[in-house]
Amino acid sequence: MALEFTDANFKVDVLDSDKLSVIDFWAEWCGPCRAIGPVIEELAKDYEGKVNIGKVNVDNNPQISMNYGITSIPAILFVKGGQVVDKLVGAQPKANFVKMIEQHK
Point out the residues that are catalytic: 30, 33
H or E stretch covering 32 = helix 31-46
Q: What is the distance between the alpha carbons of residues 65 and 47, in angstroms, rounded to a whole number? A: 24
DSSP code of residue 21: E
Nearest to 25 by CA among 46, 47, 10: 10
